[in-house]
């Protein structure tokens, strides 16, 4: 790198940081949320633009402009008031979502990035990769840009890891926020970006969180679905769009519903919301864990052993508490429901028709991510359905603000709540994979709790529970009985397993 280019790059990054700081100080104007009216996309011929602007008095902005046409989003109840459709001004059908996103062209062409840019509008997979990369460049001491895998069509699945990079990861615990398993639910992505923005914009406030936790954020789990929804047709995007399974073509809604593809209870639910039919929008795949997107999330979970997670969707306005699958029974005592209800009571719903509540499910499902994490690792894994489905972006700030207590409460519980935190090693200090068997914790589906092989770590949050009695077991080693109370301090307890003496 030449000296001139190095100076130029440092100057550019510094200028970006200054711009970011100035934008952060700006307040976001608020206005009442819409009443749930359906948004309509209008396609305006270039010769009809003057008429459109006159009739609407410039109150309806263009969302996308092409050479021969412009596009604008209005509410259905305003069509009649403006006299639309009319010559040259018609309802657009079968269009990609990019025409609904008013800032898309501007966002792609920006040459200077600031943190507040991530709050300007909806994001496709292209903008998502761009934003996560530049967020890391602006905040290298509190973030890392990661690629956790590739999609069915070979697109990267980017993530950002938020943590204090000056503090070693040795004693940190991981938490996960993911969005857009279903990429047609673009409002879900905004909840992931709310986590990113709030934590980085208020680093001092959350310094303890940065020091204790590794917060993984995967805003778009399904980049292929994002691609087709944004750039091909809004009728697709729930699935991953890969035409490799079944007798389907590119135009027959190809691919797999990734959030029906996880292994726990895969294919066991008799419900019209999960399907073995390849062209169904709920197609669960040919076998459990068949999709590379599913595998990427499973591999990340195996590596990190998430203590808690939230998967964001839209738009039933509720928090789903595992196990969400009919016919399943939660372990006893139940670690997730009390916290789920506390989260639900903290949310001030912005949906005019439904209160926010905690539920087991809203319909029969199987193969979902939150149940897999809960089963496999004891993750306090929730799914939050946002209050609206892809509303005008001017409504998004109020929506994400109303649901913000969910992720802040979850982080506080992991960082400061009752927990068990062990490092299990042999007598030479090497980490061990051992089974943790609780004396009075009942499992009903063969759940097994183990320490992590890389460092012997075992972490479990126990909301509202104090007294614990357990055994730490590993074949060939003497069993360790442990009895005590959960604690709130951030210090792991070492448990040493000694090899059994050879039989005489």
Which residues are identified as catalytic? 385
Give the side-chain half-sphere CA count within 13 A for 382: 28
- C-beta atoms surrounding 221 within 10 Å: 30
- Here the tokens at position 217 are 């954020």
Q: Are 391 and 33 in contact (CB under 8 A)?
A: yes
Helix (H, G, I), strand (E, B) or coil at 128: helix
Measured distance CA(245)–CA(124) in Å, rounded: 25
Pairing of strands 62-65, 467-473: unpaired
Q: Hey, CA dihedral for 468, 469, 475, 479, is it positive or negative?
A: positive
Surface-to-core class of residue 250, CB atoms within 10 Å of its CB (0-12 exposed, 13-18 middle, 19+ buried): exposed
- C-beta atoms surrounding 34 within 10 Å: 15
Measured distance CA(147)–CA(288) in Å, rounded: 23
Helix (H) or strand (E) holding 461: strand 457-461
Greatest pairwise CA separation for the chain in angstroms: 97
- Here the tokens at position 54 are 């006159």
């Amino acid at each position: 790198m030449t000296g001139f280019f190095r100076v130029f790059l440092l100057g550019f990054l510094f200028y970006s940081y200054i711009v970011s700081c100035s934008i952060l100080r700006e307040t976001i104007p608020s206005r009442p949320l819409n009443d749930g009216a359906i948004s309509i996309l209008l396609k305006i011929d270039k010769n009809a633009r003057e008429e459109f602007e006159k009739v609407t008095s410039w109150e309806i902005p263009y969302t996308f402009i092409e050479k021969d046409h412009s596009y604008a989003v209005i509410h259905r109840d305003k069509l009649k008031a403006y006299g639309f459709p009319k010559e040259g001004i018609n309802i657009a059908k079968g269009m990609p979502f990019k025409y609904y996103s008013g800032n898309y062209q501007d966002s792609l062409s920006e040459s200077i990035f600031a943190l507040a840019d991530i709050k300007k509008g909806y994001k496709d997979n292209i903008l998502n990769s761009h934003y996560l990369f530049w967020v890391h460049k602006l905040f290298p001491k509190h973030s890392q840009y990661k690629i956790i895998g590739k999609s069915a069509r070979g697109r990267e699945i980017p993530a950002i890891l938020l943590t204090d990079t000056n503090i070693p990861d040795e004693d940190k615990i991981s938490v996960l926020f993911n969005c857009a398993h279903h990429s047609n639910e673009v409002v879900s992505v905004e909840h992931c970006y709310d986590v990113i923005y709030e934590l980085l914009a208020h680093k001092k406030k959350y310094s303890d969180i940065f020091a204790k936790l590794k917060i993984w954020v995967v805003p778009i789990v399904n980049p292929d679905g994002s691609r087709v929804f944004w750039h091909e047709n809004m009728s697709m995007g729930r699935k991953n769009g890969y035409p490799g399974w079944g007798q389907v073509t590119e135009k027959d809604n190809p691919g797999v519903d990734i959030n029906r593809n996880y292994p726990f209870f895969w294919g066991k639910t008799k419900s019209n919301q999960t399907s073995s039919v390849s062209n169904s929008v709920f197609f669960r795949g040919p076998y459990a864990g068949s999709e590379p997107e599913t595998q990427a999330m499973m591999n990340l979970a195996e590596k990190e052993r998430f203590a808690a997670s939230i998967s964001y969707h839209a738009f039933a306005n509720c928090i789903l508490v595992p196990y969400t699958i009919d016919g399943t029974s939660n372990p006893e005592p139940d670690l997730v429901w009390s916290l789920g209800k506390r989260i639900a009571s903290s949310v001030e719903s912005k949906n005019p028709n439904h209160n926010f509540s905690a539920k087991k499910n809203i319909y029969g499902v199987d193969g979902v991510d939150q149940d897999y994490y809960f089963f496999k690792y004891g993750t306090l894994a929730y799914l939050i359905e946002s209050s609206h489905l892809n509303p005008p972006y001017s409504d998004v700030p109020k929506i994400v603000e109303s649901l913000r207590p969910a992720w802040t409460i979850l982080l506080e519980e992991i960082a400061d709540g009752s927990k068990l935190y062990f490092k299990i090693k042999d007598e030479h200090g090497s980490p061990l994979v051992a089974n943790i068997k609780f004396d009075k914790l009942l499992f009903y589906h063969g759940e097994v709790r183990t320490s992590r092989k890389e460092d012997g770590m075992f972490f479990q949050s126990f909301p509202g529970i104090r007294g614990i009695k357990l055994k730490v077991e590993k074949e060939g080693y003497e069993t360790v009985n442990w009895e005590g109370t959960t604690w709130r301090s951030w210090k792991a307890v070492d448990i040493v397993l000694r090899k059994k003496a050879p039989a005489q």
